Amino acid sequence: MSSSERRGIVAIDGPAASGKSSTAEWVARELGFTHVDSGSLYRAVTAAALRTGVPAAEWTPALVLGAADDITLVPDGHSLVPAFEGAPMTDEIRGAIVNAAVPRVARMSAVRAWVNDRIREVARARNVVVDGRDMGTAVFPEADVKVYLVADPWERAKRRLVQHLRRLPTEAEIAAETDRLVHRDAADATQSVQARDALLIDTTHLLQEEQVARIVALARAALGGRG
Ligand code: C5P
């Protein structure tokens, strides 16, 4: 495929609760691209493994990949989301049990290869906005635009709680959530690397619409006629 025929790829990476997915979804909507959240695939594989009833401590890559066989990607607005036997896995993949088990599954190289194949398959057929930890490094080193989103852990914790609780969280709730996020950052550290050619955006003091506007402008400039 010549470079003028190549599909557009916008890669957005960053730590847990940095606002990657909602930003990526919004950017995809603005550009008319398809959004895929790689974290949702790691979560879906984990939820499928939990459904087997085998205790997480005994999971092998073969068991996890066997469970992943029933997962497909289905359209939901501008995104493709994981479905199990055709049914979207919405709430199931966001629970505390999946949160706790997912970093272990994400460290299995066979699982990483499975997730990466699914996402590359989508990007061969469509223009995509992908988000995760290693989209701009391991998965799409050739991406047209690479962004790495960071934010202060306290701010990330607060945003996550406001989204989940739909009210202002207390200081104690934010402190507990900050602790959980810092632990997950440590568990994910190996695969969470900023690409050398990624633009670092600190969103601690930014409105989401401001970060979206910056990424959309970057993408339009980089993609030219392909956008
Ligand atoms: O982004 P999110 O918190 O939904 O990701 C869930 C988990 O999936 C992360 O904690 C991490 O362990 C794993 N992940 C990964 N590589 C990615 C995306 C997510 O290892 N590209």
- Hey, what domains does the chain have and what are their CATH numbers? 1-33+128-221 (3.40.50.300), 37-126 (3.40.50.300)
Going by CA atoms, what residue is nearest to atom 4 of ligand 1? 39
Question: What pLDDT sits at residue 226?
Answer: 72
Going by CA atoms, what residue is nearest to atom 5 of ligand 1? 39
* Predicted confidence (pLDDT) per residue in 178-203, tens digit: 999 999 889 888 888 899 999 999 99
Task: Give the start-end residues of each E strand in the chain.
Answer: 9-13, 34-37, 71-76, 79-84, 87-88, 128-132, 145-150, 199-202
Taking the centre of ligand 1 as the mean of its atom positions, its distance from the CA of residue 6, in whole angstroms, is 27
Q: Which residue is associated with the tokens 């999971």?
A: 59
Residues with Cβ within 8 Å of 20's Cβ and at least 6 positions away in sequence, in order, are 12, 13, 14, 37, 39, 131, 132, 149
Question: What pLDDT sits at residue 172?
Answer: 97
Taking the centre of ligand 1 as the mean of its atom positions, its distance from the CA of residue 42, in whole angstroms, is 6
Distance of CA 126 to the CA centre of its chain: 18
Q: Which residue is associated with the tokens 């979207």?
A: 88
- Distances from the Cα of 83 to the Cα of 2, 90, 97, angstroms: 33, 8, 18
Cβ of 136 below 6 Å from ligand 1 = no
Residue to mutate (ligand 1; options 92, 133, 147, 183; most atoms within 8 A of CB): 133
Cβ of 103 below 6 Å from ligand 1 = yes
Cβ of 155 below 6 Å from ligand 1 = no
Closest atom of ligand 1 to 103 CA is: 12
Q: Compute the distance between CA of residue 56 and CA of residue 60 in angstroms, rounded to an integer.
A: 9
Going by CA atoms, what residue is nearest to atom 3 of ligand 1? 16
Cβ of 72 below 6 Å from ligand 1 = no
Residue to mutate (ligand 1; options 37, 42, 111; most atoms within 8 A of CB): 42
Q: Which residue is associated with the tokens 């709730």?
A: 173
Question: What pLDDT sits at residue 227?
Answer: 64
Question: What pLDDT sits at residue 191?
Answer: 83
- Distances from the Cα of 156 to the Cα of 18, 58, 135, 205, 226, angstroms: 6, 32, 21, 11, 33
Taking the centre of ligand 1 as the mean of its atom positions, its distance from the CA of residue 32, in whole angstroms, is 25
User: In the chain, which stretches have pLDDT less than 50?
Assistant: 1-4
Going by CA atoms, what residue is nearest to atom 7 of ligand 1? 39
